[in-house]
Amino acid sequence: MRDKFPEPGEMTVRKLAEIMGQRLMLAPACGEEGFGRLVSSPDISRPGLALTGFTHRFLHDRIQIFGETEITYLSYLKPSAREAAIANIFQFPVYCCIVTKGYEPPAELCAAAWKSDCAVFRSPRDTTPLIHDLTGYLAEVFAPRKSVHGTLVDVFGVGLLVTGRSAIGKSEAVLGLVERGHRLVADDMVRIRRTGEVLLGTGDALMGYHMEIRGLGMVDVAALFGIRAVKDRQQVDIEVRLVDWTQKPDFDRTGLEKATTTYLGIRIPQVTLPVLPGRNLALLLEVAAMNHLLNTRGVDVPAALEQKLIERMQAASEAGGGPRETGRGEES
């Protein structure tokens, strides 16, 4: 993916060290054994209890962090006992260990890691900040994800996911937005990843910022409009679905109906725009983004207008509902 988060099945220990090594200040402590092993979990484990022999709940599929507690405990043991303690965890297929706070890994740890094809790193960083940065990055790598056929564009800071059937005009409409100063994120195939309660969209690294425009072929948006016309990734805030005018005869004309759609368990607003020759789709997409900004600030224009109409009708009804004068005097 273009945002530098590899697919989970591609995240090896070597790739993790290449991407996060400088930030985590990692240095190989026992050679390059285990660098080809896959990182299989976004979480980490502190093996302190497992070193004592209690391995019933030992999470061997996680990166093992040896902090001050673990290293100090091992240093108090005799060599034979230290070897036995380390053997308690290496009876499982451990693939990566990180020794923090600048401590040197015990020789017994390096020996066991070499036999088990396990990578061992050391870092001068404190344990808690290192864990925070490492798990934050791995959470992004292992986040739920899916690919969606559509185009993602940043309009006034709002992430518009434009979808619709093939050849309906998604790319042309978004190209009009780019010409207006907005930023393209991805065309044709949008890769969406869930991070917490947020959807983040990006494009394919190979395709870059190319758009397929029928009749023109492939267009390089970054080369034509400059680097400020493109963006690596963007939060997906709203889906705008383009449909044929005849596909749905009862389009919403008031804006009172609030449709939504769901991606990866997160619900976002959905707007359906009919496509008809002569309609300025770029302008309509801009208005959809601005309406979304108003809604997020608590401004609901259709609801406010409806309330005013209701109040006017009630006032008219009350004014016309009083006693009526006939203008005739009483009979004698």
The catalytic site residues sit at 149, 170, 188, 253
Hey, how many other C-beta atoms are within 10 angstroms of the C-beta on 233?
21
Question: Do the bridges between strand 210-213 and strand 217-220 make them parallel or antiparallel, or are there none, so unpaired?
Answer: antiparallel
- Sheet order of strands, 44-45 included: 27-28, 119-122, 96-99, 63-66, 44-45
Per-residue DSSP letters for 102-155? TPPPPHHHHHHHHHHT-EEEE-SS-HHHHHHHHHHHHHHHTS-EEEEESEEEEE
Q: How far is CA 31 from CA 14, 120, 267, 283, in A?
A: 12, 8, 47, 59
Instruction: Yes or no: say if 179 and 172 are a contact pair by the CB < 8 Å rule.
Output: no
Instruction: Yes or no: say if 120 and 29 are a contact pair by the CB < 8 Å rule.
Output: yes
Residue 232, SS3? coil
Instruction: Yes or no: say if 44 and 20 are a contact pair by the CB < 8 Å rule.
Output: no
Q: To which residue do tokens 């749905």 refer?
A: 248
**DSSP secondary-structure letter at 8?**
G
Residue 191, SS3? strand
Instruction: Yes or no: say if 164 and 204 are a contact pair by the CB < 8 Å rule.
Output: no
| Phi and psi, residue 18, nearest 5° | -70, -40
